Amino acid sequence: MKKILFIVIVCMFFSCEQKSKYSYIEIIDDESLLGDISEKEKEPRIIEAISDSIAYLDAYQKFCVSKKVNQDMIDASQKVYSTPKSFKLLDATGKDIALVNFIDKEKLEKEVENRIFSLENNIIKDEKIRKKEDEKNFQATANIDSSKIRELKKYFVIKSDEFSNENKKWYTPSNAPKYTNMNGIYFYFQTENNIPSNLRFRLQYYADDWLFFDKVQFSIDNKAFDYVPTNTETDSGDGGYIWEWFDEGLTITDRDLVYALANAKTAKVKLIGDKYYDIKTITKKQILNFKRTLDLYNAMGGNY
């Protein structure tokens, strides 16, 4: 660290006219929206320095900062579309001096790395601050019905996420299928620090022949509803039996269907495949599960 400071101090004794210009070009692996990855060069950034070695240390610091930000985003569970891979450092003649050698190069690189990568992850820090503010605002404004929560909780399996430090829990109807190789349909949801979110809809079909369904129609109290899942998964086993299912987050556009199911007197579901379809009656217990899940979600302060 002392050596870096010494170099910086030395630089101060030289005038701007004695500095040379270098082009720092970062090379990244860039991911397209379709998932394809290609190597690209970012726009050049100008570095002014009195020597190749000082220019290199500046460039190396920029590269370490890019890698640190990239890793911080990954650690904060944010999607990254580019990953720093290497860099070029072009002098005034266009020569790449990124591989320049000088005294104590590896030691100085290590000092730069230690300084940059020991910095706090501000993305996670800011996210924690935001979550605390959200929790505080939620407690101050949410319409929580404690008696309703106590009444309904006994009908649910509550499972903590052992890999989360955010006190995440899943609330699933206790009589919902525990495995995929069973017919079932239900809502469930997650809480994070007791704030309900991620209300989800799961339907699973178990039979001895494929439907490959990609659309679902409901008849609820003689009123028709359509639902098109974004992704239906399949599997097979059990001596030739098959199972198909979807598990998706509910949005405000599904609100009419959700409330119709939760308040239904009678309901049927039609699973429509490429060539065939199957109609199932939604049982009274399943309808009651819909209502209990929605009621618990809202009683805990959810807004759906």
232 & 97 share domain: no
- DSSP-based three-state secondary structure for 138: helix
**Is residue 135 assigned to a domain?**
no
Provide the domain count of the chain: 2
228 & 84 share domain: no
Q: Residue 143's pLDDT band (boundaries 50, 70, 90)?
A: confident
Neighbours of 158 (CB within 10 A): 11
Q: Please report the pLDDT score of residue 17 as a whole number.
A: 53
**Is residue 51 assigned to a domain?**
yes
Instruction: State how far the Cα of 227 lies from the Cα of 269, in Å rounded to an integer.
Output: 10
111 & 176 share domain: no
**Is residue 66 assigned to a domain?**
yes
69 & 7 share domain: yes
**Which tens digits make up the pLDDT trace of 65-117?**
999 999 999 988 888 889 999 999 999 999 999 988 999 999 999 999 999 99
**Is residue 130 assigned to a domain?**
no
State yes or no: pLDDT of 136 exceeds 80. no
Instruction: State how far the Cα of 30 lies from the Cα of 42, in Å rounded to an integer.
Output: 10
- DSSP-based three-state secondary structure for 8: helix
Predicted model pTM: 0.61
157 & 292 share domain: yes
Among 8-22, 62-76, 129-143, 180-194, whose mean pLDDT is lowest?
A: 8-22
**Is residue 136 assigned to a domain?**
no
Q: Cβ distance 126 to 75 under 8 Å?
A: no
192 & 236 share domain: yes
147 & 295 share domain: yes
Q: Which of 62, 97, 124 is the last residue of a domain?
A: 124
89 & 157 share domain: no
Q: Cβ distance 20 to 55 under 8 Å?
A: yes
13 & 67 share domain: yes
**Is residue 137 assigned to a domain?**
no
49 & 98 share domain: yes
Per-range mean pLDDT, top range of 100-104, 157-161, 199-203: 199-203
117 & 148 share domain: no
Domain with 227, as residue range(s), is 142-299
117 & 236 share domain: no
> What mean pLDDT comes out for the span 173-180?
94
User: Rg for the chain (alpha carbons), in Å?
Assistant: 29
For the chain, the average pLDDT equals: 90
- DSSP-based three-state secondary structure for 167: coil
The candidate with the shortest Cα–Cα distance to 2, out of 130, 93, 111, is: 111
State yes or no: pLDDT of 12 exceeds 80. no
**Is residue 286 assigned to a domain?**
yes
